[in-house]
Amino acid sequence: MYSMDDVNAATEYFTDVLLTIINVHAPVKRIKCRSEQPKWITNEFLSLIDEKEHLCNIYQRCPTPFNDARRKLVQRRIKQMKRALKKAYIEDAIRDCRGDSKKTWRLIKSIWPTKSKSPVINKMHNDTSPESIADMLNSHFATAGLKVNQSTSPTSLMSRVYPDQEGRPQIETLSPQDIWTLLKELSPAKATGSDGISARLIKACSDAIIEPLHFLFNLSIRTEVFPDMWKSAQITPLHKSGPLNQPDNYRPISVLPIFSKLLERAVHNQLYTCLTVSGALSDQQSGFRKGHSTTTCLAEFLDVVYTNMDNAKYSGVLFLDLRKAFDTVDHEILLCKLETVGLGQSFVNYIGNYLTNRVQATKINNVSSGKLPVVCGVPQGSILGPLLFITYIACLSICRMTSRHFCTQMIRPLLVVATQ
């Protein structure tokens, strides 16, 4: 592998060898697991449950009023203890989550689980075949953004200029320490991509694969080619709202190979630093940025409103929802914008290759569709996708006038107009 110059051939060889080793030494097996015991349960509570079962058995053998009273007394104690233990656990957990919004939401979802957003789809339009439904959804997702863009002809608006490269940041190769950091920070809970290699297995054998990954990632960067094998996405449709038999009511989420996400993270770190240093990302952009969130968005919005109130002005607010936002990103315009904000040609070429030759297959009801090419948009569920999207819409923050304040927060632009 180390003598190969073709990153696609090297990637396929590495994947085949790794899968062979996994199938021999760590084959996938299905086992039944008992449900996890709630964390608030104590030994005292379990002892009380055992006592209740014992008293119930006694009552069944000898159903006297005395035995019935003993059984009901223990049942009341169990109910009171359960309420007190759950309350104490939730209060302690909320206290531990203070200052960490992700941890707080994870706790809330574990306590009050929501309904699944991936219901079983038995019919799409008038077709009930699982294979046809999967193919229909996949075709819709692959062409949805293209159909929207065809009505505006966006490629005629901008053209590549290939400016002078002197002083422009270029994409840099990685060190073994960079690879080690990427593997260390990888969450074992990441969804497994189309190659079947899980994040848990990758972390388990991280020491053995640092060297080959170091070679593959740097070969990819030097040749400005993102491996085609890692461009294959498995789409999971998430229901948004409306009838279940309408493709427009689903949002496509891309599940990519774990190695793809590791390489994307390495490129993302470099790209985000360059965009931040160059000032390409507006301070008003709160979405998909470290240190920013809906909280910073609301804080800035309220500051504008209160300032207008202090100056005896009204605040008119207009919320805009971008339809098919990620799916309608035009690749040519995006690459032109990356050049415009000052990125070097190696960066632009690499992102261009990352966006081309992408394919996807939709899996629904345990049935997978055939693969289709994706010629428009950035993949949802990827690492680079959100950063490329906010770079794509960064010019919206320029839309400022004396009496207007424009904020591109999260994915929805927010226009605040102040008048006397």
pLDDT band at 409 (very low <50, low <70, confident <90, very high): very low
CB 366 within 8 A of CB 293: no
Question: Model pTM?
Answer: 0.77
- Return the bridge partners of 254, or none: 235
CB-based contact 243:119 (threshold 8 Å): no
Confidence of residue 357 (pLDDT cuts 50, 70, 90): very high
Query: Mean per-residue pLDDT for 151-164?
Result: 52
Mean pLDDT for 98-107 is 82
For residue 114, the model assigns a pLDDT of 63
Distances (CA, A) of 37 to 32, 46, 105: 15, 11, 21
User: 131 is written with which tokens?
Assistant: 């294979």
Residue 115 has pLDDT above 80, yes or no: no
d(CA 355, CA 389): 12
CB atoms within 10 A of CB 271: 22
| pLDDT band at residue 126 under the 50/70/90 scheme | low
**Token digits of residue 99:** 């200052």
Per the model's pLDDT, the better-predicted residue between 377 and 157 turns out to be: 377
Q: What local confidence, expressed as pLDDT, does residue 13 receive?
A: 94
Burial readout 329-357 (b: 16 or more C-beta within 10 A, e: otherwise): bbbbbbbbbbbebbbbbbbbbbbbbbbee
Helices 101-111, 65-96: inter-axial angle, 10-degree rounding: 160
Q: What is the mean pLDDT of residues 166-187?
A: 90
Burial (CB count <10 Å: 0-12, 13-18, 19+), residue 399: exposed
Residue 323: what pLDDT?
75
Q: Quick one: average pLDDT of 330-349?
A: 89
Kindly state the average pLDDT of the residues 403-414: 42
Residue among 329, 337, 332 at smallest CA distance from 377 = 329
The residues near 354 (Cβ < 8 Å, ≥ 6 apart) are 226, 231, 264, 267, 384
The closest alpha carbon to 419, from 398, 404, 408, 406, belongs to 404
